[in-house]
Amino acid sequence: MSVPYRWVIVALGALMSCVAIGTMFSLAIFQEPIATATGWSHVGIASAMTLNFIVMGFGGFLWGAASDRFGPRPVVLIGSVLLGLALVLASRAETLMQFQLTYGILVGLAASAFFAPMIAATTAWFDENRGLAVSLVSAGMGVAPMTISPFARWLISAYEWRPAMLIIGIATWVLLVPAALLVRRPPADAGTEFAAEGARPQLSKVFRSPQFIVLGLTFFACCAAHSGPIFHMVSYATICGVAPMAAVSIYSVEGLAGLGGRLLYGSLADRIGVKPVLVAGLTVQAAALATYLFVSRLGEFYALAIVFGSAYGGVMPLYAVLAREYFGQRIIGTVLGAATMLSSLGMAFGPLAGGWIFDTFANYSWLFIGSAMVGLGAAAIALAFPPLAARKPQPAFGVAS
């Protein structure tokens, strides 16, 4: 195995996840400027994010299956081209429907082309330190709020929202197309475990298994709990009297905390098992969501963002580790894509629900109450995870329940 190049694959995966998730979630930064400039409703703009997650869900399953069949490079290359195109077209939208179709459908389809294929590629390159590598690829999502979101806010302040989105679309091409061309499969000798896994399992049996059902339902409820608060956090902080740029910085603190949370929760999972760490993280996430009802000052937002960000960021790589441990390398792209589809459907509820709640009640209180209850439900479902089959231990949090 080429030791240096496997870490290049990790870096490429982290970059792609950062840009893809960062550009998609930057709609939270664009929401208020778009509404002010166009007169479109908050719920109408937020529905583009809901479309993002719905399309991203089905797209993730299809892209994951395609990466199992054709390899990751053609999948992420198509996704890179499509993501830039979607942002450029969205910046030119003249009606709310045009914006919803371009940003909602095309961005969602493009953004889903990276996570499952690059996680699958990463696990194929690593026989050791696999869990750490997966965590680092996923960490790109945590970096996104610290990079794309402030950049978007600065561009909007300097050029207004249409030129800002156009520039981000062009930057996406510049960053991702060359990166996609560098992705490749591991050398033949790195695939010994893959080859030893035998015949491809029947997917119908896999998707009916208790392992996949619990994995999918937990992932769905986890994302349904945190999607609305993440998307509407900037607007909520602004309503509480926080200045716009400072409100964006709360979003960035969440991302930084999520980066640390991925490493912290992964290390804990190494020592005490994936299942108890996942349940604990989901419980912390639910408690943090409820606590947002009682914060209003910038310092309070920062403190809670650290707890909330580390919790929802820390649990995310654990789903990929569980998928790999339950189902092996041969179909991980398909399985993780299917689980991601369910999580994306969960993510789709939050932005739309939050927009409706704000338009109806002129505040976000019921969003945080409902999200906390769903978060507790996710923790309860996670308690039902079946034990992992005995496997050869991995040096980095690849075992145990």
Query: Residue 200: its pLDDT value, please?
Result: 59
Share of the chain above pLDDT 90, in %: 28
Confidence of residue 162 (pLDDT cuts 50, 70, 90): very high
Q: What is the DSSP string of 258-322?
A: HHHHHHHHHHHHHHH-HHHHHHHHHHHHHHHHHHGGG--SHHHHHHHHHHHHHHHHHHHHHHHHH
| Integer Cα distance of 232 and 236 in angstroms | 6
Confidence of residue 191 (pLDDT cuts 50, 70, 90): very low
Confidence of residue 194 (pLDDT cuts 50, 70, 90): very low
| Integer Cα distance of 92 and 95 in angstroms | 9
Q: What is the CA radius of gyration of the chain?
A: 20
Domain boundaries, the chain: 3-189+202-382
Question: Which CATH superfamily is 3-189+202-382 part of?
Answer: MFS general substrate transporter like domains (1.20.1250.20)
CB 242 within 8 A of CB 133: no
CB 332 within 8 A of CB 197: no
Is the pTM of the predicted complex or chain greater than 0.75? no
Single out the residue of 239, 223, 365 nearest to residue 290, CA to CA.
365
Can you tell me the mean pLDDT for 115-128? 80
pLDDT in tens, 285-337: 999 999 999 988 888 999 999 999 999 888 888 887 788 778 876 777 788 88
Half-sphere exposure for 51 (CA within 13 Å, toward CB): 20
Query: Residue 172: its pLDDT value, please?
Result: 94
Position 364, amino acid: Y
CB 13 within 8 A of CB 137: yes
Share of the chain above pLDDT 70, in %: 90
**More confident of the two residues 357 and 392:** 357
What's the gap between Cα 88 and its chain centre?
Answer: 22
Whether the per-residue pLDDT at 197 is higher than 70: the answer is no
Query: Residue 392: its pLDDT value, please?
Result: 44
Whether the per-residue pLDDT at 3 is higher than 60: the answer is no
Single out the residue of 228, 215, 214, 227 nearest to residue 337, CA to CA.
215
| Integer Cα distance of 334 and 75 in angstroms | 13
